[in-house]
Amino acid sequence: MAAAAAAAPVGAAPRVGLLYDDRMCAHATPDGEKHPENPERLRAIRRKLDAEGVASRCVDMKAKEAKEKYIASVHTPNHIKLIRDISSKEYDYRRNKTARKFNSIYFNEGSSESAFLAAGSVIEVAEKVASGELSSAIALVRPPGHHAEHNEPMGFCLFNNVAIAANYLLNERPDLGINKILIVDWDVHHGNGTQKMFYSDPRVLFFSVHRFDYGSFYPCEGDASHCFIGEGAGEGYNINVPWEHGKCSDADYVAAWDHVLLPIAEAFDPDIILLSAGFDAAMGDPLGGCCITPDGYALLLTKLLGFAKGRIVMALEGGYNLKSIANSVCACTKVLLGDNFTYNSPRMQPFESTWRVIQMVRDELKAYWPVLSSKLPDNVPLRSAPSYIEPYASSGSESDVEDVSELPDAISSVNVTQVVDDVLSEHITMLKLDEDNLATKNTSSDSVQAQDDGPVVAATRIYDLLFTWRSALSKVYVWYASFGSNMWKPRFLCYIEGGKVDGMSISCFGSHDTSPPRGTMWKTVPHRLFFGRSSTPCWGTGGVAFLNPEINYNDESYVCMYKITLEQFNDVLFQENRLVKDNSEDGKLESPSSPLIGLSEIESVSSNKALHLEPIKDSWYSNVLHLGEEDGLPILTMTCPSTAVAQHKSGELPLAPPSETYSATLIKGLVEGKQLDTHEAANYISAAAARSL
């Protein structure tokens, strides 16, 4: 077999491989629960390709399971054994418990086969493209792979499919002449697993463009920032383009291509391109919050065809809106097949923040890639930041949810407001060493010290994430709606200023920002107020207030709304769920180093009306509800998840009337807020405590 076989002759129809195998649909949630990463993702894509007559023009391919020795090039023996055995009968009674040990992972009886097929499929298509048997190929695989770490599954990903295929080409098939690989990851989430696996390898140029949101967007790791550029021989070969917020569209991605990726790709001159093709930055995706159109993806892919003789392997990663993922994959397939493509855009204006991020990336990498030393174009028309970033006033913006019915033809308009971003622009340059991020991880028996566990993601500089997210979210305003003791303003101010009021046994720690609310107002909401649990450290014996997450227009509950920053909302959330601790040794408070609710979560909860916070899923107030908008700002509250409501109904968790002191606090709030008189307020509380769920 000739090394580095030539591309198809000029004028010849491209031979595009299309790998789809329904066996990879066997991986699903164990009890049929709804989940964004589900088998319908593959089936929707296949239906679209068939309906458009695209699939029949491709070379049909079937999946093959990867051999363990190839998977072992990037994953530990214990990791491989877990995925191989997790679907066996021996795990029937502990499969769910095992899944809970990992970050955003589920398993079922079909997980093992699907994972081995996904990894083997990307190897299969990559080998055929590298050999010249195919011009390019698309591997419709799941579970996805780019979050999977060396020693554990993560973020819906079981094996790192693209990393396994890259290692196979470089180390197992030298006869194919693949010496340099460009991995492009355009999934909206950072490809943390892939980055770590090639962090010191100059044979692999890894490029990831993703939402970062100052460290608050999944996977919420500092090494997704632009200053992580590789180490040792691989220094300069790791490129991160970290967006500061959502709503990034075709224009933003094209700018990153034209001013970062393409100049470096030309200098690197790859032999093949492996594309971690996640489509969760697509317009209408429930997790991504960005706005790339199908034509936008097609344009990005078209721009890559000029490299590596057009040898491109697309491996599916994320993408959770069935219509947008199907339309986007179809548009990309037509590009690979050589169909004429014209991009028509009513607007091509990147965000101001995009231009700033691109400049930072270029400054970081220009010592390694001199082509980046040139000055960026002047007088480029730019958009200001999305309207959910509120400096000090509301904007009256519409919902952040895109109208997916417009796909694929329209590029949605985005309501924007001018943002005072002096602080944000300063944060991007304030860097320090984050020792916690550099610490060796020992999460399983096969974890080893950093020098043996693949490249350590260690740069001499990293964002001060704690400072950065707080400063960023201090510019974002929301309405916090309280239905419990916080309806009484002096009680609520304990969460902001610290301290306690009469009836409380313990003091609150307060917020980092002790500024008072910028506004207060009342309203009623169609949710059932009830009192659950039997005692609390703060109020003693008796139930405390919860709202049933389910809407019921026969119910009417009072809420007192405080206009506070999203930073303050997170501090209230931390305290409600007892996540703030007093370090008695040095007297300093310890609180989470990243927010539970960032800009991406605001988008998600606005779209889905509720967001159960996975990191604190077992806490009492782990469910954030979106109760509507007021003056263009979201109204948020925190309550129990629906699963807890079911447990209260069944008696597994107790329902209990509130204590006298707790009731008195609620009554003070309702009376001083001029909603009810004392007698009416007492009856309101008693009725809520007496009603069954």
Q: Catalytic amino acids?
A: 147
What is the CA 597 to chain-centroid distance, rounded? 12
The three-class DSSP label of residue 588 is: coil
Q: Check: CB of residue 246 under 8 Å from CB of residue 284.
A: no
End-to-end CA distance of the chain, in Å? Answer: 71
Q: Which amino acid, one-letter code, is at 515?
A: S
d(CA 654, CA 534): 6
Whether 157 and 145 have beta carbons less than 8 Å apart is answered as: yes
The tokens describing 512, both together, are 């980092």
Look at residues 283, 265, 282 and name the one whose alpha carbon lies nearest to residue 274.
Answer: 265
In angstroms, rounded to a whole number, what is the distance separating the alpha carbons of residues 657 and 676?
Answer: 20
Token reading at 229? 């550029």
**To the nearest 10°, the Cα dihedral for 87, 90, 95, 101?**
-110
Instruction: Give the separation between CA 641 and CA 611, rounded to whole angstroms.
Output: 9
Cα 185 versus chain centre, distance: 14
Contact between 221 and 286 under an 8 Å Cβ cutoff? The reply is no
As a whole number of angstroms, the distance between CA 617 and CA 434 comes to 27
Assign 602 to helix, strand or coil.
helix
Rounded Cα distance, 167 and 130, in Å: 13
Inter-CA distances, 427 with 365, 383, 421, 597, Å: 19, 20, 10, 19
| Buried b or exposed e, range 490-524, using 16+ CB within 10 angstroms | bbbbbbbeeeebebbeeebbbbbeeeebeeeeebe
DSSP state letters, 388-440? TS-SSS------S---GGGTTTPPPP--B-----HHHHHHTT-EE--HHHHSP
- With helix as H, strand as E and coil as C, how does 299-365 read? HHHHHHCCCHHHCEEEEECCCCCHHHHHHHHHHHHHHHCCCCCCCCCCCCCCEHHHHHHHHHHHHHH
Are 182 and 197 contacting, i.e. CB atoms less than 8 angstroms apart? no
Q: Are 408 and 331 in contact (CB under 8 A)?
A: yes
- Burial environment of residue 678 by CB neighbours within 10 A (0 to 12, 13 to 18, 19 or more): exposed
- With the CA atoms of 313, 81, 109 and 23 taken in that order, what torsion angle do they form, in degrees rounded to the nearest 10? 20
Q: List the beta strands (DSSP E) in 595-685.
A: 610-612, 623-630, 633-639
- Which residues are CB-contacts of 399 (< 8 A; sequence separation ≥ 6)? 606, 607, 629
For 179, the token pair is 């010496």
Q: How many CB atoms lie within 10 A of CB 689?
A: 18
Mind giving me the DSSP string for 25-72? G----TT----SS-THHHHHHHHHHHHTT-GGGSEEE---PPPHHHHT
Q: Helix, strand, coil proportions of the chain in percent (round to 5)?
A: 35, 15, 45
